Structure 1
Amino acid sequence: MEAESMDHIFLQCSFAEELWLFFSGCFNVVWKKLDSMADFLQWWKRKLKIVCCKEVWALGLITVADHIWRERNNRRHEGKVRPINFIKQMILEDIKSSKPSTKGDVKIAVDVICCRKLGLLIQNKPTLPILEVYWRRPQVNWIKLNFDGSSMGNPGRAGASGIFRNHMGAVMDSYKIFIGVSKVFQAEVEGLMVGLMRAREMGITRLWVETDSSAVAISFEKKKTHGDGSIWCPLSFEALLCARRLGISRIQYKPKEIIEVFWCPPPPGWVMLNSNGCSLVNPGKAGAGGILRNVMAERWMSLALYLQSLTWKITHCLREANPVVDFLAKSAAKFEVSTPIVSGQR
């Protein structure tokens, strides 16, 4: 009588070996006879990386071992011996009843044969509709600006680029700039602002701006809605709000001499903090706030005036429709170069 051990019951006896050989053969995997359960489990784990139906392969380890143990108990304690072909069929039925997923696993003919041997239904991924993506020309007398930004690390070395084309698709102007270490959103915004400054120099009066960054498109559209692009509340609104909280129903306003008041941007490399505090009664409910701005704020304020003087729109496109500026922005970030590239006549 053969010695009974875990290695003998599940691996070394002829009955167990035939079941493992049958199951691995369904996957077109050559069965390797091993002496210990530890080595067997490592071998099974390695094969999991290469077989087609991975979920079924992992499930088979438990299912086959379970039937081996049941047959051992039936023979030892009840004296019943079941035909091995019947046990093979029961293994397949148990796996099929668990409804394992084969979605995305069937790619070649060998995978189809594997599913047929296991009696599994092939679950294909839903076919996605083909979407045609292309660059759209602007209307006659319009100029289209496509821009992009890239950051190698986010934050990391960043670049921005843009290209101007007319209704014939001819390139009117293009640029790429290296902007140092920055995040991708800042690089996208820089590409937009440089493009708008170029458009102002070119005297463009009808401009179509297009980007593959939905975040920049949404932010810029909000600037358009607000008119001047300001992000702070006027003092008159704050005064009316405070008066309402104090229960004041009428406010008498006496006009004074008109004095030009404007915000002065900081020098390049500096950041300006504007802060203020308010107390409703003094002492009373109080609050404070502040805003940090750099020299970019001045650029936007000047560009906002330019945008008010022309007809323009901004749209979002898929990345596949923006390949030229994507390449230019990445090359500017990678090689740390800024190059005006002009083609055609302005």
Structure 2
Amino acid sequence: MQRVSRRLQPHRIVSDQPATTDTEQSAASPVLAIGVEEDQNHLFSHGMIVVSVWEHFSNIFGVNYLSSQSVLQRFNLWISKASKKIRVSRLVGLVPSVISWEIWLSRNQARFEGRAMSASKIISKVAQWLHDIACTILGEDRNSLADSITLQLINIPKAECHLPRNHSIVTWLKPLRGFLKLNVDGSSRGNPGLSGGRGVCRDHHGNLIFAFHRNYGLTLNTIAEAQAMLNGITSYSKLGLRSIIVESDSLTIAKAAADRYDFVPWNIWYKIGTIREFRRSLNLSFSHIFREGNSVADALTRLASEGNPNNFFVSKYALPVKVQGALLLDQAGLRNLQCT
């Protein structure tokens, strides 16, 4: 019954430490009692430590701060202030994602490494992220006076900013109701080298249906990508469901599976052929996603390629902590920056 209850509460996450109201958490003190569930709004929005972080950057960027806002409301407010026409406003849309990521890292370091969690440390980390991003996407010679003042407030000297590189925002999107989405990834260390693949299947709320990672031994990257897709679709077919969207960060594999290539390399021909056969019994669609939007799959692929045992997960609480974090940020609509 407890397990079922947790699956019906996607807004909660498991933590082993009791909540604290101190502005700085002692490395020695526990944060949640074992078995207690921590509300994600407390963790990312309402806790005293994170309130100080949000207030700090809200004042700098002129975004209205309301203490009662949920995580989703706060994300939507910041994103609504973003604009491609005003240079620093491009940065505004990325701020909540950076803040949430650093809060999550700081929370895990406090929990698993005994490091103190404090607002000042998180603010410093976020400022460094924004410094690096701003110097990539903002050109110093085109900044207005207001832009320049804002950049100085987060310690970004004009002399360090360079002309912008090509960049785009990449976001993992939840599937429509009635569909599931399967994200797959494969990798090979050395190409050929020690290889692995993984996949994660989620519903229209972003909730986990299943995830897996497997070792493939010594092989090529393309073979690992194709095998990961085949493993994921095979696992999905056993659920008795029919409609699924399959995303891969390998453009070659995504196009080959969708039958958009006349020629398929011989070393993945059988795997691609088997994947296409599933289209006779399943409502399958295939698409390409950039690696920045495939972060959950990428995290599990590293486990597989590093020689960890094969595993299959049906509960998000069984996933490694870093993978849980990536899953949670996808659910919150994390916007990722891709630079080329």
Give the TM-score normalised by structure 2: 0.42
Higher gyration radius (CA): 1
